[in-house]
A = this chain, B = another copy of it.
Amino acid sequence: MIPRLSQASAPLTERVRVIDEHGQAREASIPAERALTIYVDKHELVTLMTLGAQPEWLVLGYLRNQRLVAALSEVESVTVDWEVGAASVRTRRGIERIAERTAQRVVTTGCGQGSVFGGLMEDLDRIRLGEAVVTQAQLYGLVNAIRLQESTYKSAGSVHGCALFAGERMLIFIEDVGRHNAIDTIAGWMWLQDAALQRGDDKIFYTTGRLTSEMVIKSAQMGVPIVVSRSGITQMGLQVAERLGLCAIGRAVNKRFLCYSAPERVRWEPGLAD
C-alpha cells in the first residue's frame, strides 16, 4: 500500500540583490531554505531546514532512516503545507513508544539534520551488505555524470548534492541545504520504487559532502555498499565503513580518487587513470 502524498514543491532559488567587490549592485541566486516541522499522528517530531525540492520523499526517508517506520505500508499519508511549514504524517497503527525512542539526542558532524536519535549505532552489526563491486570505468562515468548535472549548486551554491547510481547510470539526483536531507530524500524515493530499484546492494551512492559516520551509516541502512564523494572522510566515517565492509571512495574529481576502505569492491583498471 502506497501512502497518499501531497506534491508541495516550491522554488529552489531566490534572486537577491548583492554588491560585489567593485561596489556594483547586481543580482545573485541563493538557495531557498524552509523550516519544515514533521508531525507524526499529531506528535511533533522535529523541524528540518530544507531546500524543499521533494518534501514528501524527505519526510518518508527521514522516518525510514531514523528507523521510526519499518515499512512504507505503515504510512497512510504525508501532507506538506508550506504555508505553515508543516508535514503531517498519518500512520496506520501509530508508532510505538515514539516519545521514548526520539528522546535521546546525538548532535553529529554532518551538514544539516545533524541529529540522529539514539540506537542507530547499536544496530550496525545487524547490517549485511551485498557483494557489489564498482569498476574504475563506472566510477569515472559516475563522476562525469555528476559534473554534467544541472543543479541548484551551479546556479546558487551553498547546497549539497546526493545521487543514487546503478553502475554509471544516475537514477536520482537530489540537492538540499542539508546533505542529510538529500540522502533521506533518496531513501524516501527508493521506498516508492519497484523492487529492482528498492534494492540497495547493486547501487552506488554519491555525495558532494564529506563521508561522515552518519553518511556511511545511512548508506548502509539503505543497503548500498559503495559510497563515493568528491570530499574526504572523517575518522569515524572510516571506522564505520571498515566495520561494515562498505567501500568508501573520496576525493573523486576527474580521474583522481582515494579508496579508504574495502578496496576489494573496486575492479581496478589503473590504466584508465593516465
Contacts and interface: CB of A to CB of B under 8 A. Distances in A.
Interface of A: 14, 16, 18-24, 28, 30-35, 46-49, 105-115, 136, 156-158, 177-178, 210, 212-213, 231-238, 251, 255-260, 263, 266, 268, 270, 273
A157 B233 CA distance: 8
Contact of A112 (B22, B34, B107, B256): B107
Helix, strand, loop or mixed for chain A's interface?
mixed
Q: How many monomers of this protein are in the complex?
A: 2
Given A30-B235, A158-B232, A109 B177 contact: yes
Contact of A234 (B33, B234, B251): B33
Given A32-B235, A177-B212, A106 B18 contact: no
A260 B16 contact: yes
Contacts of A235: 14, 30-34
A212 B159 CA distance: 11
B234 A46 contact: no
